[in-house]
Amino acid sequence: MPFPRSGRAFQSLSAAAMSALLLASAMKHFRDPGFFRQVVPDYLCLEDTHRQGLGDGGATASGSVPATSTAAFDGGPEPGRRRPLAVMTREEWIAVSGLLELAAAVGILVPLTRKAAATALTAMFIVFLAGHADALRRAYSNEGTPLQRKVHTLRLPLQGPLIVWAWSLRKPALASWPWQ
């Protein structure tokens, strides 16, 4: 007895599942941005995280960076060193990545944009590897906690399946299952 679903239906279901995951993650970026703070590498951030506190990234209670921040010229242990990749604050990076995930969630659902969205999503997940690796490095430093070590040790390897899954959505759907 043939299975009633075609390859196209399976790919649409896979795209919908990926879209739901991305939508949930995008919503979390805006509801709980603190969850993503450790995943944004310091070298991308304008605020001086080393001198103003590793835990809060230099933000005040209102979420703004204090006026005494040295912006892109902070260098942590090397105060004169410029961070050439520091173009936004940590909060801005979190918001932008949330917006990118939201756009990918929509783009992956539309068959006409699926290949382009899946390609961009694959690239985004690959770029996110740097943040996860940096968070893992910091978790195992002297400032890291046992909970951070557990979380980031589990979080980094999850990027691999996400990359493969996003890449698989680029391929055209098969006309039918192999056993039909």
**Phi, psi torsion values for 88, nearest 5 degrees:** -145, 165
Q: How confident is the model at residue 82 (pLDDT cuts 50, 70, 90)?
A: low
> Looking at per-residue confidence, does 72 or 151 come out higher?
151
Question: Range with the lowest mean pLDDT among 47-51, 133-137, 156-160?
Answer: 47-51
DSSP letter string, 42-103: GGGBSS-HHHH-TTTTT--TTSPPPTT--GGG--TTSTT---TT--B-HHHHHHHHHHHHHH
Pair (99, 136) in one structural domain = yes
Q: How many structural domains is the chain composed of?
A: 2
Q: Is the pLDDT of residue 74 over 60?
A: no
- Position 119, amino acid: T
The pLDDT of residue 14 = 93
The pLDDT of residue 44 = 87
Look over the chain and give the mean of its residue pLDDT values, rounded to a whole number.
Answer: 79
CA distance 131 to 137: 10
The pLDDT of residue 67 = 37
pLDDT digits (tens, 9 = 90+) for 10-29: 888 999 999 999 999 999 99
Among the candidates 87, 117, 150, a domain finishes at 87
Pair (36, 99) in one structural domain = yes
Decide if 111 is inside a domain. yes
Pair (111, 143) in one structural domain = yes
Decide if 153 is inside a domain. yes
Q: Where are the alpha helices (DSSP H) in 40-176?
A: 49-52, 90-107, 114-139, 146-168
Decide if 174 is inside a domain. no
Residue 160 belongs to domain spanning: 8-40+92-168
Pair (52, 120) in one structural domain = no
